[in-house]
Amino acid sequence: MHAVYSNSIPDEEIKKPSNDLTNKVALITGASRRIGAIIARQLHAAGMKLALHYHHSETAAHALQAELNNQRSESVLLLQADLHNTAKAISTVRQAVEYYERLDVLVNNASTFYPTPLGKVEEKDWDELMGINLKAPFFLSQTAAPHLSKTQGCIINLVDIHAERPLKQHPLYSTAKAGLVMLTKSLARELGSKNVRVNAVAPGAILWPENDLDEVSQQRIISAVALKRHGEPNDIAQTVLFLVRDARYITGQVISVDGGRTLNQ
């Protein structure tokens, strides 16, 4: 006996869940500058309250808090922590939940990036790059999971297209981001039954590294992009907003926002 499917769905069976993010709460790590700050502005504009983590960038963090609180008073909490310290990472989540009495979104954006040429790598490099890019997201997610389950929330990890295509002279960074991709999929499987979605966003050429990549190198990268141009931080922020607000049946996925760079094999 074959199942019969119909393209016609009775109106009473169509569920229209609210996509309203007003007063929902997002914790964003590494949120004071660059892509983290743009993500913060995007989610705040959608109505969310924010817990913004920063490490060293105190001036930028306070400026962003003032900017957003001027738009909507008492909508932004700042949390300073060194995420290398697992106890402090766990405390960051707990402080956000204690302050807002809920948590709807965790964005693991904080990252460390620098070259580690083979033969020159020291143990401290391993600890630094694996600690921020992989260990911290795990313990932040583990701590946040029970609270996200209560709100049917989600976790979004910022990974990298180099998780699949390793970047020359960056074996530790590439490996850490590859681990974060697998962590995304593993958490999606573990937390699916608890109503928590877990996805990742993999930026391509969006912002150049702060160690001043030379113009020739920049043009070489752009030439490998199908759209022949670099993207904007808001391209990432809009993708994060989509995953938070609209992607109610998407989990365990990595969305590459790279202008088609990964098409160039």
What is the widest separation between alpha-carbon atoms in the chain?
67
Beta carbons of 79 and 95 less than 8 angstroms apart? yes
CB atoms within 10 A of CB 36: 28
Beta carbons of 107 and 28 less than 8 angstroms apart? yes
Strands of the sheet with 197-203, listed across from one edge: 76-80, 49-54, 25-28, 105-108, 154-158, 197-203, 254-257
Residues in the chain, total: 265
Beta carbons of 82 and 58 less than 8 angstroms apart? no
For the chain, give me the number of helices (H) and strands (E)?
Answer: 8, 7
CB atoms within 10 A of CB 148: 26
173 has catalytic annotation: yes
| 25, β-bridge pairs | 49
DSSP letter for each residue of 174-192: HHHHHHHHHHHHHHHHHHG
Q: Residue 107's closest CA among 206, 190, 38?
A: 38
CA distance 189 to 203: 23
Residue from 5, 54, 114, 173 carrying the catalytic annotation: 173
Q: List CB contacts of 62: < 8 A, sequence separation 6 or more.
A: 78
Residue 166 DSSP class: P
Residues with active-site annotation? 173
